[in-house]
Amino acid sequence: MSGFSTILRRELTLSLRSQGDVMTVIAFFAIAAALFAFGVGPELNVQSRIASGVVWTTALLAALLSLERLFALDYEDGTLDQLMLSGTEPIAMVLAKTLAHWLTTGLALLIAAPVVALALQLPTQAYGALMMSLALGTPTLSLLGAVGAALILGAKRGGVLLSLLLLPLYIPILIFGAAAVEGATLGLSTSAPYAVLGGLLVAALTLCPWAAASALRHALE
Amino acid sequence: MSGQKFPAAEFSGADLSCRRGGRTVFTGLSFRIVSGEVIVLRGPNGSGKTTLLRLMAGLARAVSGTLHWNDADIADDLCAHGARLGFAGHLDAVKSAQTVRENIAFWASLRGAAPTHVDQALNTFGIRHLSDIPARVLSAGQRHRVALARVAVSGAPLWLLDEPTNTLDDAALNALRDTLSAHLQRGGMIVMASHGDLFLPQARALDLRQTQPAAIAA
């Protein structure tokens, strides 16, 4: 497990040194959400009606932003070769890099979400559900994203390909994430969407690192 | 770096064939190397030196043939095979945002090497004075020295080096030669691709021209 923490620490150092990374994600999230607000107009009812969907959709697109580079930089500079040969299990390496991605995007989105939701007039009673659904859903976004990021290695215009690959897979998370917030707005029980989001997270946690590790092996051949 | 001897080992490949992009790069290639030996891969551009090194590392896969470390097929446990080799390819895997020392220390700690080994490698390759500057300002030769220092701290018995003399000046070449000799004396193994002089007296050449599909058909 020491390999896991060593890689995690390095990934976090690297992304904090290029501070742009984290700030870009949050700025994109805020601006995309603001576009919806401007597009829909100042009608408070409409805004608060669509707030749950808008926050979730923009958060999901923001998480996609930095995914393209999850493995691509290491692939281009030879680091991926070395990581595969380091004696650390590739699955542990994938998990470390995915966790680092979540800490620098998912967690950042989680912190920024209440502010964005406030700007979109999300009803007060829905904030708990928003945070809970994002906490359960964004790790799944990073895990699925790791598989996609590993599959696009070596492809030209990988970023576009990655969006086409991942966005359809993100739909269930979007549906149940937004459903939880919507339910809380209407005063309904949110346990069902939480259960689905939790189930998706467990499934992604068991399958995605393995799938991404095999995709990486193929990419290096 | 310096330290106790490696246990005696044998690394061999039998009847290896490799295809890249639909073209057979080499076929029917066999080799055997034991502790304390060095093999230099020779052959013109495109004869498969890099491919063979990646095959030996377990990064690429052969169309046919097997690689064995002490009678165990390396494909059975690629992760363990990676741990017993140090690899320096065309790409130097140096992160620009980190200092020279951080770059080497990361790989040393992944391998469980002591921090003193990092200083020793920095000294050996003459990059001690650069240790605290960001790697983005390094020249190509200096980055290459960092990559070689990473191999030196790996503590692995088998070193696979692709054109290790490229971009090195005389001082670095001497350091490389000394490091390689010390590694062999400890019972390490080295396989390297090189166009230049063999520069290690005990080196054995493996000529890839003899395993080209055309040479066999002729």
Sign of CA dihedral A189, A190, A192, A193: positive
**Statement: residue A76 has pLDDT above 50:** yes
Chain centre distance of CA B28: 22
The per-residue pLDDT for A94 is: 97
Q: A85-106 pLDDT, tens per residue?
A: 998 999 999 999 999 999 999 9
Of B78, B97, B107, the CB nearest to A82: B107
The per-residue pLDDT for B3 is: 64
Distance of alpha carbon A59 from alpha carbon A63, whole angstroms: 6
**Residue A1's pLDDT band (cuts 50, 70, 90):** low
Q: Do B79 and A90 touch (CB under 8 A)?
A: yes
Evaluate whether B118 touches A103 at the Cβ level (below 8 Å): no
Q: Do A87 and B80 touch (CB under 8 A)?
A: yes
The per-residue pLDDT for B201 is: 79
Of A77, A85, A87, the CB nearest to B91: A77
Rounded to the nearest angstrom, the minimum Cα separation between B89 and chain A is: 8
Of B87, B89, B110, the CB nearest to A3: B110
- Give the chain A residue whose CA is nearest to the CA of B158: A85
Helix ranges restricted to H, B154-211: 170-185
User: Which two tokens mark A116?
Assistant: 């964005």
Q: ipTM of the predicted structure?
A: 0.91
Residues in chain B within 8 Å Cβ distance of A78? 89-93
**Residue A128's pLDDT band (cuts 50, 70, 90):** very high
For the whole model, what pTM was predicted? Answer: 0.91
Rounded to the nearest angstrom, the minimum Cα separation between B146 and chain A is: 13
Residues 6 or more apart from B132 whose CB is under 8 A from it? B99, B100, B101
Average of per-residue pLDDT values in chain B: 89
**Statement: residue B92 has pLDDT above 80:** yes
Average pLDDT of A52-75? 91
User: Which two tokens mark A154?
Assistant: 């070596």
Average pLDDT of B87-98? 92
Distance of alpha carbon A49 from alpha carbon A133, whole angstroms: 18
**Ranges of each domain in chain B:** 1-83+191-218
Q: Which residue is it, tokens 């995007």? A: A105
Phi and psi at residue B107, to the nearest 5°: -70, -35
Of A13, A18, A78, the CB nearest to B91: A78
Average pLDDT of A15-37? 88
**Statement: residue B63 has pLDDT above 80:** yes
Helix ranges restricted to H, B9-68: 49-57
**Statement: residue A19 has pLDDT above 80:** no
The per-residue pLDDT for B218 is: 47
Q: Do B90 and A6 touch (CB under 8 A)?
A: no
Q: Do A87 and B94 touch (CB under 8 A)?
A: no
The per-residue pLDDT for B214 is: 67
Of B82, B92, B97, the CB nearest to A84: B82
Distance of alpha carbon A145 from alpha carbon A122, whole angstroms: 28
Q: Which residue is it, tokens 């992944």? A: B110
- Check if CATH label 1.10.3720.10 holds for domain B1-83+191-218: no
Q: Do A14 and B97 touch (CB under 8 A)?
A: yes
Distance of alpha carbon B54 from alpha carbon A87, whole angstroms: 16
First-to-last C-alpha distance (Å) of chain B: 46
Q: Do A87 and B111 touch (CB under 8 A)?
A: yes
Average pLDDT of B197-212? 80
